[in-house]
């Protein structure tokens, strides 16, 4: 299936149903669509997605005065891995082929950037949709919520500090080394935005672990949380977790965890975290070392790899 694309300057304007890149003016309409579906994205999060991956947020939208978004998909690239996220069609229009058209446009965008390996996180009822497109299930992204008000306010761990610019550069290097991804643009934007906090455990001229705690709808989200793959790194990741609980207190903190990090799963279960519906990580093509990256204690949101 060949997706519609934005016409070149001077040609006819997009028709209703064409797939077009989002602009900052579309943010309010995108938020209406995700809220209708019950998904938790803030305006700041959607604005960040558009800014970090120019041309990657693709829309089906109506024409005319109302300017309604009918469907969307986020096609991002993090180094050698593409990622599909925020794939959504207005409920009244599902089953009419719009999802396939959005996926075709998203995949075309990623491949136009020279990327052949693509990942995504799928909720259970649409795994077969992605399987039919050639994606293969690999591991499970577990979702937890932690009511920090249930705990006594923990002491501030002396090993953890709020990261500055130098810490950020070191966290980016750790992230690239452990994940195999290139998320520098995202991490720098998160650090610059006023709705997120970088937490690091420094060691010499590097960091043992870093975590990003950011505001989301009705909660704070922890992720990514990445550490060196060692006993010392595991301890540092746990220390960042303690600091994140303190920063979040007394609100809800949510965490997405790869099921292969058994230590993090056990930690959250021991804390009485509530589990939500999981997602299935799926890949098309060979993701190489990005398939099950080491040192990952918490994931970014689904569209961020």
The answer to whether residues 71 and 194 belong to one domain is no
**Do 182 and 249 fall within a single domain?**
yes
* Claim to verify: residue 45 and residue 152 sit in the same structural domain: no
> What region, left, alpha or beta, does residue 175 occupy, with left being phi > 0 and alpha being psi -120 to 50 degrees?
alpha
**Statement to judge: residues 109 and 174 lie in one domain:** no
**Region of residue 134 (phi > 0: left; psi between -120 and 50: alpha; otherwise: beta):** left
Q: Which residues 6+ apart lie within 8 Å of 218 measured at CB?
A: 40, 252
Domain interval for residue 220? 142-304
What confidence tens digit (pLDDT) does each residue in 156-175 have? 899 999 999 999 999 999 99
| Local confidence band at 124 (pLDDT 50, 70, 90 cut-offs) | confident
11 domain residue, yes or no = no
The predicted-structure confidence for 71-118, as pLDDT tens digits, reads as follows 999 999 999 999 999 999 998 888 889 999 999 999 999 999 999 999
CATH code (residue 197): 3.40.630.90
End-to-end CA distance of the chain: 26
pTM tops 0.75, yes or no? yes
Per-residue model confidence as pLDDT tens digits over 204-257: 999 999 999 998 888 999 999 999 999 999 999 999 999 999 999 999 999 999
Same domain, 58 and 109: yes
């Amino acid at each position: 299936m060949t997706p519609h694309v934005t016409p070149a300057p001077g040609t006819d304007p997009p028709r209703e149903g064409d797939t077009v890149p989002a602009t900052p003016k579309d943010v309010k309409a995108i938020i209406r669509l995700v809220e209708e579906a019950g998904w938790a994205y803030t305006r700041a999060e959607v604005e960040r997605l558009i800014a970090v991956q120019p041309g990657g947020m693709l829309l089906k939208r109506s024409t005319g005065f109302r300017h309604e978004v009918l469907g969307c998909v986020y096609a991002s690239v993090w180094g050698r891995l593409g990622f599909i996220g925020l794939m959504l069609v207005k409920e009244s229009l599902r089953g009419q082929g719009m999802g396939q058209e959005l996926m075709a446009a998203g995949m075309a965008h990623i491949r136009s950037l020279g990327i052949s390996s693509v990942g995504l996180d799928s909720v259970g009822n649409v795994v077969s949709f992605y399987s039919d497109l050639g994606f293969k299930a690999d591991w499970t992204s577990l979702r937890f919520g932690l009511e920090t008000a249930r705990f006594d306010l923990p002491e501030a761990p002396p090993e953890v500090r709020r990261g500055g610019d130098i810490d950020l550069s070191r966290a980016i290097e750790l992230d690239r080394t452990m994940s195999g991804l290139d998320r520098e643009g995202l991490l720098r934007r998160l650090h610059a935005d006023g709705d997120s906090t970088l937490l690091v455990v420094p060691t010499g001229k590097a960091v043992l672990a870093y975590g990003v705690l950011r505001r989301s709808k009705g909660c704070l989200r922890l992720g990514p949380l990445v550490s060196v793959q060692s006993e010392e790194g595991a301890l540092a990741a746990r220390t960042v977790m303690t600091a994140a609980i303190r920063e979040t207190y007394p609100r809800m903190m949510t965490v997405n965890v790869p099921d292969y990090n058994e230590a993090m799963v056990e930690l959250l279960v021991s804390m009485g975290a509530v589990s939500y519906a999981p997602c299935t990580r799926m890949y098309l093509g060979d993701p190489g070392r990005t398939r099950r990256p080491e040192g990952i204690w918490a994931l970014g949101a689904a569209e961020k790899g």
